[in-house]
């Protein structure tokens, strides 16, 4: 054998050993991941907890097996934002928004909790001050065939104690 042939054979053998070593490492990682996933999604799994302020809130998961299956492969997440050929990202904005949300779940939950409290406070203050934020509407005025009628009271019983005149327009 020539020296070049020996180098090629050594490279090939070294490559096979590294590939086999990498394969074993990948198999061990997958096995470890699956064991940890099974521990998370066990029979006692009720949902995911989020820390909001000083409290914890739980988001219940309806179909635990589906979530477990979907989340067991990270490619399922990435493929949501990829083209059909899976080589090009189709929705970069959606990908980054989803990934940011995943990486900051408690902060996002806290933000919306605080926003909800602020909206509820604003609504309560407006209601307590008797402020009507609805657009104005004409109340009690009717125009029928050129004759205009205006309701004077809230009900027909209010009309009994009032005198009124009928004016005819020329």
My answer on whether 33 and 78 are in the same domain is no
Task: Kindly state whether residue 162 falls inside one of the protein's structural domains.
Answer: no
Range of the domain at 16: 1-40
In a shared domain, residues 67 and 29? no
Q: What is the mean pLDDT of residues 132-140?
A: 63
Burial of residue 18, with CB atoms counted within 10 A of its CB: 0-12 exposed, 13-18 middle, 19 or more buried:
exposed
111 and 75 inside one domain: yes
Q: Which of 94, 97, 68, 64 is nearest to 81 (CA)?
A: 94
% of the chain residues with pLDDT over 90 = 59
- 47 and 117 in one domain? yes
Extract the tokens encoding 169: 């327009």
End-to-end CA distance of the chain: 122
Cα of 15 vs its chain's centroid, Å: 46
Q: Is residue 166 part of a domain?
A: no
Same domain, 101 and 29: no
Domain annotation covers residue 124: yes
60 and 24, same structural domain? no
Q: 0.75 exceeded by the pTM?
A: no
The reply to whether 70 and 111 lie within a common domain is yes
> What's the token pair of residue 21?
């070593």
Task: Give yes or no for residue 139 having a pLDDT over 60.
Answer: no
CA–CA distance, 15 with 4 (Å, rounded to integer): 16
Q: Note the pLDDT tens digit of each residue in 58-111.
A: 999 999 999 999 999 999 999 999 998 888 999 999 999 999 999 999 999 999
Asked if 59 contacts 116 with a C-beta cutoff of 8 angstroms, the reply is no
102 lies in the same domain as 122: yes
Rg of the chain over Cα atoms, rounded to whole angstroms, equals: 35
Looking at the structure, do residues 47 and 92 belong to the same domain, yes or no?
yes
| Locus of tokens 């490279």 | 11
Same domain for 23 and 65, yes or no, is no
CB 60 within 8 A of CB 47: yes
- The answer to whether residue 125 is domain-embedded is yes
Number of compact structural domains in the chain: 2
123 is a domain residue: yes
Average pLDDT, stretch 153-157? 61
Residue 121 and residue 105 in one domain: yes
Same domain, yes or no: 50 and 82:
yes
């Amino acid at each position: 054998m020539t020296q070049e042939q020996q180098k090629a054979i050594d490279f090939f053998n070294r490559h096979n050993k590294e590939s086999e070593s990498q394969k074993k490492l990948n198999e061990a990682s997958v096995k470890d991941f699956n064991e940890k996933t099974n521990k998370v999604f066990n029979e006692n799994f009720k949902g995911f907890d989020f820390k909001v302020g000083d409290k914890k809130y739980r988001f219940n998961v309806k179909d635990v097996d589906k979530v477990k299956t979907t989340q067991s492969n990270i490619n399922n997440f990435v493929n949501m934002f990829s083209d059909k050929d899976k080589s090009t990202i189709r929705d970069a904005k959606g990908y980054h928004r989803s990934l940011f949300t995943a990486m900051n779940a408690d902060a996002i939950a806290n933000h919306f909790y605080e926003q909800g409290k602020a909206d509820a406070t604003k609504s309560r203050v407006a209601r307590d001050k008797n402020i009507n934020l609805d657009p104005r509407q004409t109340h009690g005025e009717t125009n029928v065939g050129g004759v205009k009628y205006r309701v004077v009271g809230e009900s027909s019983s209010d009309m009994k104690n009032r005198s009124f005149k009928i004016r005819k327009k020329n």
